Structure 1
Amino acid sequence: MSPLFRPLALGIYTLFLLAGVVCALVLPTLSLFLAKEIGVRPFLVGVPFAGIALTSMLYNQVIGGWSDKLSDRRPLIAGFCLVGAVVCALLAYSRNYWIVASVVILLLSLALVSFSQMLAYSLDYAERNVPAERVPLFNAIVRAQIAIAWVAGPPAGFLLASYFGFTTMYLIAAGMFVFIGVMTLRLLPHLDSHPHHLDHIEKADVLPLTTGQKRALLLSVIGFSLMWGANNAYLISLPLHLKDGLGIGTEYVGWIMGTCAGLEIPFMLLAGHYAARVNIMNLVKLAGLAALVLYMGVYFASALWQFFALQIFNAMFIGILAGLGVSVIQDLMPGRSGAASALYTNTSHMGNLISSLLVAVVADVYGYHQVFVVNLLIIALAILAFGRVRVKNEGKL
């Protein structure tokens, strides 16, 4: 049986699907919760997102490297999921901004480490069972589960928040966190996470990085951070721009995001398939070009159908970025699955910090509409960074 479809691989896909659903319930609606349910100004909406970014980077960097020395990641994943359940239960009943902000910054960011550890587990599996040329496709399939979850997750989150309230939505999310933690221990077998214990992982794989690898890694981290920053600024600003600027109901935001998630899946799988044949940096830069079209279109769009139509470019952007990003970092850090997954996850957190500061400053002074103009500059800088990354041959760093 292909290692892409063995029972263990199917268990990994299932858990990523469930993780994607709970993230899609909680994260896209958080800005709306802060702005409308609690009633704070744009600057205070951005503060918790910036705090999540900073604490998540700290947690991931410390826990990611340390976790490579452990023999079993599963208790970590389950424990962090339990933290997520506690966070959602607190958000369900608190409407004090400073309590909510503190819980989100200190504890939600810790709960999100569960997803980077799930990613590390999947990289451990890939290193041991998947042929090297098929690893990008495996990673793309893993990420596609999150995209599938986001087809239904944001619409469900905004509908629950709109018609049943945030209390109900957060209690459902808390239950899902508990379920994911339990299923992690039941679905996934013990898998030695330390590459030194495996005969087919060569000793050279864990030698210090070369100067070229370090330079390519730095440029890639900068590029991915900028791209995720633009994406997160879009996610924060779009619901409020549509509601306040165009008078479009927030329930449609979920359907817009769900449409993008559905369209992302084929782009993720195609990116994974062609990564072994095509210069991988060209694919990443193609994602950047799609983002430029997206944000230009969103800035000038005024009708609901136009936002739906633009999701084809959003899907190309996120599909390639999410499908190939971890493969790029993994190629540059062989034999270090925990550290590689933590660093890749941290690019999204660094992006969150960029976007939080962007939204806090730009939206507070000029409004949410102008955020999309700044996104264009951010994506242009990301394309320049990736343009300076050199690859050895087709599809490989």
Structure 2
Amino acid sequence: MQNLPAASRLRMPDMASASFLIVAFLTGIAGALQTPTLSLFLTEEVHARPAMVGFFFTGSAIIGILVSQFLAGRSDKKGDRKSLIFVCCLLGALACVLFAWNRNYFILLFIGVFLSSFGSTANPQMFALAREHADRTGREAVMFSSILRAQVSLAWVVGPPLAYALAMGFGFQVMYLSAAAAFIVCGLMVWGFLPSMRKEPVATSTTLEAPRRNRRDALLLFVICTLMWGTNSLYIINMPLYIINELHLSEKLAGVMMGTAAGLEIPTMLVAGYYAKRFGKRFLMRVAIVGGVLFYLGMLMLSSPVMLLGLQLLNAIYIGILAGIGMLYFQDLMPGQAGAATTLYTNTTRVGWIIAGSLAGVIAEIWNYHAVFYVALVMTAAAVWCLWRIKDV
């Protein structure tokens, strides 16, 4: 009789885990259909100048931070995270519909971005729910999180080439409506299959002292991850326009490059997770940054499609390790505060977008798109200096 509860416990986590994998993929697809082509959409459809394109990304990041911080605080204290994810998916779909039919820059910036900020928050909230589910069911949280992140990367293998194919072949309306459909299907999956977990009161007196021991290192890691994600954001904003307007190569090449990098990130994440205990997270982050320096040097010097595709291996090492190890590094430096550590890590992405949005358009308008990669190289070098001052865990 004792075997029956154990068996039922095994079936439930497996069903829920499969649902988490599908939701992770769908939220990744929804984002991968929109982000890679956004600068092209603003330039060709909204007719925004390069500086206004950059400002749009900056404004998006600021609004995203405000929305995510509000939702993070609320979701950690009360309510059901599953219901929040469902609502975020619906608002994300509504944002996609607005982008499909509206071409007013300021309406898209203030209303569209506000709605899409809820949609983008569905992904980190899903990771938080997955962590709660893993803790309650006794699953290995680190490996479960790594597999979910691999699903998001898999979505970015498919998403960018599909986004460019839809946008160039059928128009941006079809592309954004496809993203809306992904959000709707994701919302249905969340409502029907993800576990529901109400919040329980948790004593906080023992969790406020841990960051003080590692506050300096956590701050340094915040700067490092912000710089790394900032360079990646510069690349995403700038690369499609650089490929099309300065190298005069095919629009589809930009999507293939992003998809190739995302595909290579999957084994990179898994390998990094496997060797994290043996070599340490700082060593792996150093490997990532070296890959980033070499990648941006290559972007400055190489221009043939074959070489640009080959460079995506370095890009995958750079971003794959950051995405797979960065959050875990924060959690190690902030023991007892997994939620705060995850939120801090997530915000490095958004602050990176603020920096990139502020710089990309201005630099491209004053000089050219090629010059943006010099800034990315300098930012990567600054991250190297910061990482050499942080301790290993």
TM-score class, shorter: over 0.9
Q: Is the 8 A contact 1:294 1:313 kept in 2?
A: yes
Q: CA deviation at 1:163?
A: 0.6
Partners of 2:30 and 2:334 in 1: CA distance? 29
User: In structure 2, what residue type is equivalent to 1:196?
Assistant: V
Correspondence for 2:34: 26
Task: Report the 3-state secondary structure (helix = DSSP H, G, I; strand = E; otherwise coil) of the residue aligned with 1:74.
Answer: helix
Aligned pair partner of 2:111 in 91, 103, 112: 103
Q: CA deviation at 1:345?
A: 1.3
Task: Report the 3-state secondary structure (helix = DSSP H, G, I; strand = E; otherwise coil) of the residue aligned with 2:391.
Answer: coil
2:280 pairs with 1:279: yes
Partners of 2:191 and 2:357 in 1: CA distance? 35
Q: Is the 8 A contact 2:210 2:336 kept in 1?
A: no
Correspondence for 1:297: 298
Partners of 1:155 and 1:343 in 2: CA distance? 31
Q: Is the 8 A contact 2:60 2:109 kept in 1?
A: no
User: In structure 1, what residue type is equivalent to 2:126?
Assistant: M
CA 1:204 to 1:139, structure 2 compared with 1: closer, same or farther past 3 Å? farther
Q: Deviations over 1:117-144 (max 9, x none)?
A: 112112223434457xx54333221111
Correspondence for 1:377: 378
Partners of 2:391 and 2:205 in 1: CA distance? 21
| Higher mean C-alpha deviation, range 32-41 or range 339-348 | 339-348
User: In structure 1, what residue type is equivalent to 2:30?
Assistant: V
Q: Deviations over 1:42-90 (max 9, x none)?
A: 1010111101111111222232133111252011111111111111101
Correspondence for 1:225: 226
Partners of 2:118 and 2:102 in 1: CA distance? 19
Partners of 1:194 and 1:383 in 2: CA distance? 41
Correspondence for 1:367: 368
Q: CA deviation at 1:316?
A: 0.7
Gaps of 5+ in 2: 1-8
Q: CA deviation at 1:192?
A: 4.5
Partners of 2:67 and 2:343 in 1: CA distance? 9
User: In structure 2, what residue type is equivalent to 1:159?
Assistant: A
Correspondence for 1:394: none
Q: Deviations over 1:259-288 (max 9, x none)?
A: 111111110001111112221111012111
Q: Is the 8 A contact 1:140 1:271 kept in 2?
A: no
Correspondence for 2:183: 177
User: In structure 2, what residue type is equivalent to 1:368?
Assistant: Y
User: In structure 2, what residue type is equivalent to 1:363?
Assistant: A
User: In structure 2, what residue type is equivalent to 1:100?
Assistant: L
CA 1:210 to 1:156, structure 2 compared with 1: closer, same or farther past 3 Å? closer
Correspondence for 1:145: 151
Partners of 1:182 and 1:324 in 2: CA distance? 31
How do 1:43-122 and structure 2 match up within 5 A?
43-122=51-130
User: In structure 1, what residue type is equivalent to 2:368?
Assistant: G
Correspondence for 2:330: 329
Correspondence for 1:191: 197
Q: Deviations over 1:88-117 (max 9, x none)?
A: 101101112222222343222232111121
TM-score w.r.t. the length of structure 1 is 0.91
Q: CA deviation at 1:383?
A: 1.9
CA 1:383 to 1:268, structure 2 compared with 1: closer, same or farther past 3 Å? same
Correspondence for 1:200: none
Correspondence for 2:6: none
Q: CA deviation at 1:228?
A: 0.3
CA 1:343 to 1:104, structure 2 compared with 1: closer, same or farther past 3 Å? farther
Q: CA deviation at 1:194?
A: 4.8
Correspondence for 1:161: 167
Q: Is the 8 A contact 1:195 1:335 kept in 2?
A: no
Q: CA deviation at 1:221?
A: 1.0
Q: Is the 8 A contact 2:160 2:255 kept in 1?
A: yes
Task: Report the 3-state secondary structure (helix = DSSP H, G, I; strand = E; otherwise coil) of the residue aligned with 2:385.
Answer: helix
Correspondence for 1:246: 247
Gaps of 5+ in 1: 198-202, 392-396
Partners of 1:327 and 1:136 in 2: CA distance? 8
Q: Deviations over 1:314-357 (max 9, x none)?
A: 11111101111121222233444443332221110000001111
CA 1:182 to 1:376, structure 2 compared with 1: closer, same or farther past 3 Å? same
RMSD: 2.1
Q: Is the 8 A contact 1:137 1:273 kept in 2?
A: no
Q: Deviations over 1:190-214 (max 9, x none)?
A: 13555839xxxxx886243342222
Partners of 1:128 and 1:387 in 2: CA distance? 37
Partners of 2:153 and 2:316 in 1: CA distance? 10
Q: CA deviation at 1:216?
A: 1.8
Partners of 1:311 and 1:338 in 2: CA distance? 32
Partners of 1:194 and 1:31 in 2: CA distance? 43
Q: Is the 8 A contact 2:95 2:113 kept in 1?
A: no
CA 1:193 to 1:155, structure 2 compared with 1: closer, same or farther past 3 Å? farther
Q: Is the 8 A contact 1:67 1:338 kept in 2?
A: no
Correspondence for 1:346: 347
| Higher mean C-alpha deviation, range 350-359 or range 328-337 | 328-337
Aligned residues: 385
Aligned pair partner of 1:125 in 117, 126, 133: 133
Correspondence for 2:313: 312
User: In structure 1, what residue type is equivalent to 2:367?
Assistant: Y
